[in-house]
Amino acid sequence: MNEDLYLGFKKAFLHQLAFAKLNQAVKILQTGHPKYRFIIYDALRPRSVQKRMHAFVANTKMENYVADPLKGSMHNFGMAIDLGIQTKLGKILDMGTEFDDFSDLAQPQLEEKLLATGQLTQVQVRNRRLLREVMETAGFEQLPHEWWHFNAMPAEKVRREFLIVE
């Protein structure tokens, strides 16, 4: 969207259950790969921000990537996190696309095909697999169309049992 939707706010928040899983993921990454750390792109997103994002992509090909604010995104509950991996010196690992790229190249469900056709490299897929393995070991679920997005629990359960942050 090319604007700061969080008005300069620089801290990421999560629901305490998602935060506990993220802490576990941090420990797993530190233990198995001490030269790496996470870079967080997005976490809890108030519904007021979701409304602005949804309005921006309405009636475009990107509309499917931004949840309807009436239903809510897992970010609106503090139960989703968007992240990547970087070195301790701040070099972000190559995942084949930038964060928030909505092309086919960003989709984990297409990785094998994209690797076979040379559109993704072995290194890019290996980096994605490392991120996915750490996050899933900690109890997160990855979205099939965004390598960076992880939910702390199933959406149906979240929508049924938790409140949206307005």
Question: What is the spatial distance between Cα 9 and Cα 49, in angstroms, rounded to a whole number?
Answer: 13
Whether the Cβ atoms of residue 38 and residue 84 lie closer than 8 Å to each other? yes
Residues in the chain: 166
Measured CA distances, 130 to 21, 25, 75, 150 (Å) = 16, 11, 23, 13
Give me the mean pLDDT over the 149-166 stretch.
97
At residue 56, the pLDDT reads: 93
pTM: 0.94
Q: What is the CATH number of domain 16-161?
A: 3.30.1380.10
In this structure, the number of other CB atoms found within 10 A of the CB of residue 112 comes to: 11
User: pLDDT tens for residues 62-79?
Assistant: 888 899 999 999 999 999
pLDDT at 19 over 80: yes
pLDDT at 1 over 80: no
In this structure, the number of other CB atoms found within 10 A of the CB of residue 145 comes to: 15
Question: What is the spatial distance between Cα 141 and Cα 158, in angstroms, rounded to a whole number?
Answer: 13
Question: What is the spatial distance between Cα 38 and Cα 103, in angstroms, rounded to a whole number?
Answer: 23
User: pLDDT tens for residues 105-157?
Assistant: 999 999 999 999 999 999 999 999 999 999 999 999 999 999 999 999 999 99
Question: What is the spatial distance between Cα 83 and Cα 39, in angstroms, rounded to a whole number?
Answer: 6
At residue 3, the pLDDT reads: 83
Q: What is the mean pLDDT of the chain?
A: 95
